[in-house]
Structure 1
Amino acid sequence: MKILLPRISLVAAFLCLLFTTRAQNPKIKCYFNHPVNNNLATGTNAIYLNGTFPDTIVAYINNAKYSLDIAVYNFTSRGNDSVAKIATAVNDAFARGVTVRWVYNGTSATANSGMKLLNAAIPRIGSPSGNGYNIMHNKFVVVDANSPDTNDAIVITGSYNFSQQQTFGDYNNLLIVQDQNVALAYQNQFNKMWGGAGAAPDSSKSTFGTFKTPSSKNYFNVGGTQVQVRFSPSDTAGYYLRTMAYTANNDLTFGIYTFTDNSLANAILSKFNSGISVRGIMDGSSKSYNPYTTLSTPLGANMAVFNNNNLLYHNKILVVDALLPSSDPQVATGSFNWTSSAQYTNDENLLIIHDAAIANQYYQSICDNITVNGGNACIAPLPVEWVSFDASLNSNGTATLQWVTANEVNNDHFEIERSTDGIVFENDGNVANGKTGDYQFIDKKVEAGANYFRIKQVDDDGYFTYSKVLSVYNRTGATISLYPNPALDKLNILLPLGAVSVSVYDAYGTKVIQQPVKGKPATQINVNALSKGSYYIEILGKGSKFIKPFIKQ
């Protein structure tokens, strides 16, 4: 279903960010090595590169002027195949004076036979093995990170290892980001494994796995697109992937190789149970893990399984709201499998990209993967255009929802859904299709505290999609609410009427944070610096005191 929301406003206690449909960001490109379904495009067609991933990488390597930093889990080549040209391009770059550095997985999990094709003078270092280490599972290339021309800096990443099977058989994606700050973040991660910024590795200073320190910066603006970069295990990538799943307002789609994280499976299941469209595909090797058991029966044919003893469904992709540009469409990709090893021991990278065009291109790819492997077809964009959607609390405790649509085709009716937790929604009433496209609904079931609203638009044939979720806060008779709990870095607090100050106390009763909140309906506290453990919030008002516990992860 195609829903375009050029603007969304929220007349309530909270501010709502504005998202608009826009063209492809020229600084971010994605490619796929299996066919895609361009019938699902909402703007830019996804691009299928049939066996030419190596050529794409070589083109960027050939443009390198100053430096090449390569961290790839596995490079397998016989020397007379299509991926051998990557070694040739790297050798040529080295010969013309480009500083080349290469990090590879040093455990017995990979042979890395293609490394033999490299000029012996090219510096390299393998990840260590033994206690405390697992695998170096990254797949990225950084080109000219420190170039005086910021347009030279490139990051190539995704799920692709350098091999014939990964090129022609296994399912993979390739992501290109042209941004110097992102390139420097990847180079900084590389330098941790390398042991410094020099041309030669320093094994006495190199750090892998759990020995690495957290990244200093995780959020970047790439040509107007927010890009989040997380490296495992130091940047708690799994937490942010689960958080992303919970933001889905309309649709959630996934394609994953190894899936053992049942907390993420439960997040996906909760969105499915709330009425959101969920489609997915996983590799057959994951059928023995809990997430398959959690999702297979509820999703049924909405989740396909790639069963092939010789090939892999090797993507690691999560997409939310690819069909709802007015929400916050996102795609997560990289080397990060959804496993405890990826979260806590491996060297991995994960990107979360907030971009409607990119999210929809990944949607085109995954959906084709699903259907050719026996799964149900994904929902296609449908012709309903939303102009605005507002929610406001009235003085009598009711809420007014107003929305405007245009270009309605085959629209049957709207269903108003409300929730007190933003997860489980119930129907509060229906509104029939109108001729003017201007709608209003008065909800008389508003409860004390937070109330979340969304509009379910239903077509004549039964297909439906959801608007963005808006919230109003009824402070009359409300008690405090904390989320997320447990909290990792930010704790949001919905305040009762008359609140004056908020304090955080540790388990020993020591006040560790205090801030004024007079006149505010809500506040946010930065708890990132707190140690892991149990804490409690104390909210003081005129003649009142509220106490509520929370956990710092």
Structure 2
Amino acid sequence: MLATSWAAGAQSYTYTVGNALLRPAQDVILRTGESLYIPPNTVYTGQVTFEGTGQLIVNDWVWITNAVALPAQATLTNLHMLSLEQLTLAEGATVHNAHQFATTSLALAAGATVQNDADAWMQVYSAAFTNEGQIYNCGTFLAQSWATGGSVVGCAPLPVQLVSFTAKPAAGAVELRWRTAQEVNAARYEVERSVDGLLFAPLSQQPARGPGAYTASDKTRPGTQYYRLRLVDADASFSYSPVAVVNGAALVSRAWYNEMGQRLGAPRPGFLLEVNTYANGAVESRKYWQQ
């Protein structure tokens, strides 16, 4: 699995602790593609829960809370001090620790990644440590138990440091921009799009050409669109960026049909044709297989 860091600078956030939307002790729900920033000199004690995937949390000072369950493609970057009762990482979730991080319980699913930087300190205080994923330890990592089906490897540079990834409407199109500060053995960037924040399909790709700015575009579509980057390394390992969201016309109705063209009251396992109607009169359909 390719470990990818996410820098705090040059990024806008859905919630910033201490402003009018989120007080230092207030709980918050992060939905698909949303983000949370804990700025310097701020102590946050709120509980964060998740709906969907691809969220981003950047802790730039102190975060003390209970259980945190990072969903798929979510990223947690700790730049100062982080103390959690329990941390669980789903497949594709990433934690980047750059300073001090302590938890009582840590569990990594297959495909999850933890990066512990040089001069960083990370400790699991109890025996509740299970690792089916990948831990890159460049600093100090302490645990009472090593119940691991994954691996803990020594210090290695982060292949890609992603500074920002944005998607914004612009003149009848969606403009996608991202910037990297470091690329080590990076092969390419694949842009993926989704209509529900869960199922993503390839849109375009660009070869990695060294740290700097990249751009891509998509045509304007009805409804909310979700975008993410698939960062592919030279050895074919990969990771995902946080999800960027572009809001379109409001959804008015959604209908499902089976392979015989019969309308269904709700989606069910098997072939489905989904038809969405929007407030601007646009109609969009997609075919997929429901598990």
Provide the TM-score with structure 1 as the length reference: 0.28
Structure scoring higher RCO (CA < 8 A, sep ≥ 6) equals 1
The structure carrying a bigger helix percent of its residues is 1
Provide the TM-score with structure 2 as the length reference: 0.48
The structure carrying a bigger strand percent of its residues is 2
